[in-house]
Amino acid sequence: NKPSITPRHTQRYTSRVLSECHIQSSIYDNDEEMKSVKENFDRQTSQRFEEYEERMKDKRQKRKEQRDKNIQEIIEKDKMDKSLAEKVEKGCLRCGCGLGGVAASVGIFGTVAVKELTKAAAVAASQKGIQAGIAKAIEELGKIVALSEFNLIKWNAMVTSTTYNQPMDLVRIVSKAYYACEESTVAEKTRFCLATNAWDQKSSTLALQTVTREAARIAGEADEIAKTTKATEIALANAESSYLYSAIGYSVLAILIMLLVMIIIYLILRYR
């Protein structure tokens, strides 16, 4: 048998392993001051969490309201854009239809109006030619031995639009003055009557032959002046009508260009 060894010192090691009861309990559980501190801490922490939650709730609410507001603005803007686009589209369509009608009206009625103006100008030119012919006939008749001094004849009443270029009518007018020389003592003193009396003394037919020849010449000159004046006025009228035709053409072209622009805008807004 081995002798047993008995230790001579006392074991001072203390186990540091915590038991379950030690974990669940604390040395401060029975300390009133620590309990108060813990309760204050818990209360302040809960209060701060509640305040934080309130702030976050307010922020979330504001963000939600701002987001809803932005969405509403986008919707309203989109509605306005669509409404504006529809209005512009309808306006372009109406303008296009109106401009198309205007272009057709300008082209048709403008041409008709210019034709009527040309006809009126031709009539006016003819009248101006006749007036020029009458004035030329009276002027040339007055040159036959100072016949313009013969006041017994109303020249404007006898030289008219139907007689100014007719030799026989002018001969009858001058013949009337010739025979008036024998019927009026006042006419006998005019140079015309003195000249015709002198011609009659040389030959009984010389005076009538002379005035007949002069009347035929005067009728031809008056007719030529009338035709020249008429042709000049018609040429001026044609030049003006050509300018009007050009103006109408340019107007129609401008309207058609505007119509094309309106159609393009309408198609862009319609099928965008």
The number of domains in the chain is 1
Cα→Cα distances 248→10, 165, 254, 262, 271, Å: 134, 40, 10, 21, 34
Place of tokens 């509403």: 72
Q: Cβ distance 207 to 178 under 8 Å?
A: yes
Q: Cβ distance 170 to 221 under 8 Å?
A: no
Task: Measure the CA–CA gap between 183 and 177, rounded to whole angstroms.
Answer: 10
Task: Tell me the residue length of the chain.
Answer: 272
Cα separation of the two ends of the chain:
114
Given this model, what pLDDT does residue 97 score?
A: 65
Low-confidence ranges of the chain (pLDDT < 70): 1-31, 81-114, 145-146, 148, 150-152, 184-189, 199-207, 266, 269-272
- Host domain of residue 227: 109-235
Residue 135 is assigned to a structural domain of this protein: yes
Residue 98 is assigned to a structural domain of this protein: no
For helices 191-202 and 206-270, give the axis angle rounded to 10 degrees.
Answer: 130
Residue 87 is assigned to a structural domain of this protein: no
Residue 78 is assigned to a structural domain of this protein: no
Residue 46 is assigned to a structural domain of this protein: no
Own/partner contacts of 257-263, CB < 8 Å, gap of 24 or more, are 258/95, 258/99, 259/96, 259/99, 259/100, 259/103, 262/92, 262/93, 262/95, 262/96, 262/99, 263/92, 263/96
Residue 104 is assigned to a structural domain of this protein: no
Q: Cβ distance 119 to 265 under 8 Å?
A: no
Given this model, what pLDDT does residue 104 score?
A: 59
Residue 266 is assigned to a structural domain of this protein: no
Given this model, what pLDDT does residue 186 score?
A: 59
Given this model, what pLDDT does residue 185 score?
A: 65
SS3 14: coil
- The model carries a pTM of 0.47
Residue 149 is assigned to a structural domain of this protein: yes
Given this model, what pLDDT does residue 18 score?
A: 47
For helices 32-142 and 167-183, give the axis angle rounded to 10 degrees.
Answer: 50
Residues with Cβ < 8 Å from 225, sequence gap 6 or more? 129, 132, 133, 136
Q: Which two tokens stand for residue 65?
A: 């309201």
Task: Measure the CA–CA gap between 210 and 215, rounded to whole angstroms.
Answer: 9
Q: Which two tokens stand for residue 153?
A: 């004849």
Given this model, what pLDDT does residue 203 score?
A: 65
